[in-house]
Homo-oligomer: A and B are copies of this chain.
């Protein structure tokens, strides 16, 4: 046994469902900035959960700056136009469509980063990329060392853009993507994949070394398409409209409540 009976990573707590439901209401404009939310009691009954759960959800939204609340008055939708920090909630990332979206964003950044790197790379950048590739060749596919070298390669590409924000964002997004993949943990490994993946990286490297902007873009696009396949995202027109269609392990308990929440959120 012990086959990868999905370890149900972070089974979404009820508070998470409630939080994303409210969050969705805000995002879709049904709750505008300054609006007062229903009372905790009302939310609890409409969602069919305890007030405690609602409070955890609200605490979370408050910590994200989406709403603010005052004792004796109520909770109100905050001004969302001043996000001073950017955070990606990785419980939401467990949803397939969210993951796809983030992967798409990563792709855009990676491809353009490859283009800039092909224009601006210096000798030091090329050496760093070469070292990272060597590291990938030396390590077994999927091992920790392999993953580290993989990340390192992409990091050096980002660095070669000479745009620190590009690197910052790219690392941030890539890390979230990687975490999500590791959490799913359903990727099979083979020597073929090692060879293919390595080849993709080498083509990216070659194009960047030659200053071939469009070649670098194409090679990176290929690589990402391959990576998408390897993690089980079918390629092509990736992200469809965001709809709450999560597939993960079915919730055991409270399934009716969860369904109700999902239904109302989906709209």
Q: Which residues of A are at the interface with B, using a C-beta cutoff of 8 A?
A: 10-11, 13, 15-16, 19, 27, 52, 55-56, 59-60, 62-65, 68, 70-71, 81-91, 98, 101-102, 104-105, 108-109, 112, 119-120, 151, 162-166, 168-169, 171-173, 175, 237, 239-242
Contacts and interface: CB of A to CB of B under 8 A. Distances in A.
Nearest to A112: B108
B175 A81 contact: yes
A140 to B, nearest CB: 21
Oligomeric state, in number of copies?
A: 2
Most buried by B among A101, A173, A240: A101
Given A64-B87, A85-B86, A86-B85, A10 B70 contact: yes
A63 B60 contact: yes
Given A55-B56, A162-B240, A169-B169, 15 more contacts: A10-B70, A11-B71, A56-B56, A56-B59, A64-B87, A81-B171, A82-B175, A84-B87, A88-B165, A98-B164, A101-B165, A105-B163, A108-B109, A162-B239, A163-B242
Contacts of A98: 164-165
A172 B10 contact: no
Contacts of A19: 63
21 contacts: A10-B68, A10-B70, A16-B63, A52-B55, A55-B56, A59-B59, A60-B63, A63-B89, A82-B171, A84-B88, A85-B86, A86-B168, A98-B164, A102-B165, A105-B165, A105-B166, A112-B112, A162-B239, A162-B240, A162-B241, A165-B173
